[in-house]
Amino acid sequence: MSRSIAVCILLCSLIGSTQAAFIAQSANPSGGLVYEGFGDIGGGVGSGRYTLGTCVASSTSTTCTVSGNYVETAQSDHSPGGTGTFTLRLVYPSIGSSPVVARSETAGSDVLRISDLGGALFILDVFPASGGTFTGVFPAPVFTDSINFSNFLDGNTASCTGAPAQCTIGQVGLVAGATIRGATSSTTFQIPGNFSNSGPTAEVVEYHNAVLDHYFITWAPAEIANLDAGNTPTRWTRTGQTFRIYTTPQGGNSPVCRYYIPPEKGDSHFFGRGKAECDATGANNPDFVLEATEFMFA
pLDDT digits (tens, 9 = 90+) for 130-187: 877 888 888 887 777 788 888 888 888 999 999 888 889 999 999 999 999 999 988 9
Query: Looking at residue 253, what is its pLDDT?
Result: 74
Alpha helices in 116-265 (DSSP H): 169-172, 221-228
pTM over 0.85: no
Separation of alpha carbons 200 and 226, rounded Å:
23
Contact between residue 290 and residue 256 where contact means Cβ atoms under 8 Å apart = no
Query: Looking at residue 291, what is its pLDDT?
Result: 95
Query: For the residues 78-84, what does the mean pLDDT come to?
Result: 91
CB atoms within 10 A of CB 52: 25
Query: Looking at residue 194, what is its pLDDT?
Result: 57
Contact between residue 25 and residue 188 where contact means Cβ atoms under 8 Å apart = yes
Query: Looking at residue 81, what is its pLDDT?
Result: 95
Which residue did the predictor score with more confidence, 96 or 195?
A: 96
Task: Express each pLDDT in 103-123 by its tens digit.
Answer: 999 998 999 999 999 999 999
Across 73-111, the runs of DSSP E, i.e. the strands, are 83-92, 101-104
Residue 3 pLDDT grade (very low, low, confident, very high; cuts 50, 70, 90):
very low
Query: For the residues 93-97, what does the mean pLDDT come to?
Result: 90
Across 100-250, the runs of DSSP E, i.e. the strands, are 101-104, 112-116, 121-128, 134-138, 148-154, 159-161, 179-192, 201-209, 214-218, 237-246
Query: For the residues 41-55, what does the mean pLDDT come to?
Result: 95
* Mean pLDDT score of the chain: 87
Length of the chain: 298
Q: Provide the b/e sequence for 198-216 (b: ≥16 CB within 10 Å).
A: beebeebbbbbbeeeeebb
Query: Looking at residue 17, what is its pLDDT?
Result: 40
Separation of alpha carbons 188 and 70, rounded Å:
9
Percent of all residues in the chain with a pLDDT value above 90, rounded to a whole number: 59
